[in-house]
Amino acid sequence: MKVSVILVNYNSAVLLRQCLKSIYEQTKEISFEIIVVDNASSDNSRQVVRSEFPTAQLIESSGNLGFSRGNNLGASLAKGTYLLFLNTDTILFENSIKVLAGFLDTYPEVGAVGPKILFEDRYFQLSAGRLPNLLGEFFDKIIYSLARRWHTVMCPLLERRFNKTKAVGWLTGACFMVRQKAFVQVNGFDEKIFMYFEDKDLCKRISLSGWQIMYYPLTSIVHLLAGSSGTVDKQKINEFYRTSQIYYYHKHLGWLQSEILRLYLRATGKLQCL
């Protein structure tokens, strides 16, 4: 088995159907399996997989494991040489799985690779970059804000910065392919992270283990953005994000930066409980 495609699903039946359909339609000339980890969905997600995609392996969790634990569970049953972690709110429109696997075949020093990612309107979506720190995140937030406000102007400018294959610090967990050997070497996703920053943390540890993290824009997918977490209320999403952010800073950036971040979040009221 060349590639194991792993999707963690939570109440996203419509998106899941769309994503799985695109995988089966677009993926050619390569052996692959699909593993869907369902985090105790209350919609008809499980029935969609069973009835419409019977060749996909469905893992039914009794509770919501989160993204890190869910992906680790899927990976523990995977047979592929490469693991493709894919959000349910993504759509393949070309043979990206074969292209990404071919890249890893060609460059054995690479531990993980990610494609170009596009919004639904096919404008460029930022999906790779430098690993977080206080100064870097400050400038990134400005860029993200400008991209949201002036979408048709900023996105093409950002795309110019990411028009070539290059080494990066992180790849978005919405879609990136990891060499199973590298994934096992670092013990997979950190299960203390429920969601958010789990992709950056994994890339950081893979890089520290001697592997390269590469962005490869010669193949693209569509990411609907936040669709896979759309059933969770915004306050809860913010709590997950900030808790994971603080954890990442403590783990990788030390006491000083994490405390400055904590003070900033308290002062701005972004998360009262920190």
Does 142 map to a domain?
no
* Angstrom distance (rounded) from CA 228 to CA 242: 18
Ranges 7-21, 138-152, 189-203: which has the least confidence = 138-152
Whether 254 and 202 map to the same domain: the answer is: no
Does 171 map to a domain?
yes
- Spatial neighbors of 148 by CB under 8 A, at least 6 apart, are none
Whether 126 and 237 map to the same domain: the answer is: no
What is the token pair recorded at 172? 């978005």
* Angstrom distance (rounded) from CA 150 to CA 203: 30
Whether 124 and 218 map to the same domain: the answer is: yes
Tell me the three state secondary structure of residue 183.
helix
* Angstrom distance (rounded) from CA 117 to CA 126: 7
CATH number, residue 60? 3.90.550.10
Whether 187 and 258 map to the same domain: the answer is: no
pLDDT tens digit string along 94-122? Answer: 999 999 999 999 999 999 999 999 999 99
pLDDT at 226: 57
Whether 36 and 76 map to the same domain: the answer is: yes
Does 147 map to a domain?
no
> Nearest 5°: phi and psi at 6?
-115, 125
Whether 109 and 238 map to the same domain: the answer is: no
pLDDT at 72: 98
pLDDT at 228: 53
What radius of gyration do the chain's Cα atoms show? 18
pLDDT at 91: 98
Average pLDDT over residues 61-79: 97
> Could you say which of 207, 228, 249 is where a domain stops?
228
Whether 223 and 258 map to the same domain: the answer is: no
Whether 7 and 42 map to the same domain: the answer is: yes
Whether 24 and 88 map to the same domain: the answer is: yes
pLDDT higher than threshold 90 for residue 195: yes
Segments forming the whole domain that contains residue 81: 3-131+164-228
> Nearest 5°: phi and psi at 188?
70, -160
pLDDT at 35: 98
Number of domains in the chain: 2
- In this prediction, residue 229 has a pLDDT band, given cuts at 50, 70 and 90, of low
Whether 106 and 186 map to the same domain: the answer is: yes
Average pLDDT over residues 57-82: 97
pLDDT higher than threshold 80 for residue 232: no
Mean pLDDT of the chain: 93
Residue bearing the bigger pLDDT, 19 or 263: 19
Average pLDDT over residues 56-79: 97
- Spatial neighbors of 218 by CB under 8 A, at least 6 apart, are 99, 116, 165
Interaxial angle between packed helices 134-149 and 254-268, expressed in degrees from 0 to 180 and rounded to the nearest 10? 40
pLDDT higher than threshold 60 for residue 273: no
The count of other CB atoms within 10 Å of the CB of residue 161 is: 12
Does 222 map to a domain?
yes
Average pLDDT over residues 213-229: 87
Can you give the pTM of this predicted structure?
0.94
Average pLDDT over residues 182-208: 97
Whether 210 and 116 map to the same domain: the answer is: yes
pLDDT higher than threshold 90 for residue 1: yes
pLDDT tens digit string along 236-267? Answer: 888 899 999 999 999 999 999 999 998 888 88
pLDDT higher than threshold 80 for residue 19: yes
Does 25 map to a domain?
yes
pLDDT tens digit string along 171-187? Answer: 999 999 999 999 999 99
- In this prediction, residue 194 has a pLDDT band, given cuts at 50, 70 and 90, of very high
Whether 202 and 252 map to the same domain: the answer is: no
Does 157 map to a domain?
no
Does 155 map to a domain?
no
Tell me the three state secondary structure of residue 77.
coil
Does 272 map to a domain?
yes
C-beta of residue 90 within 8 angstroms of C-beta of residue 137: no
C-beta of residue 57 within 8 angstroms of C-beta of residue 91: no
pLDDT higher than threshold 60 for residue 167: yes
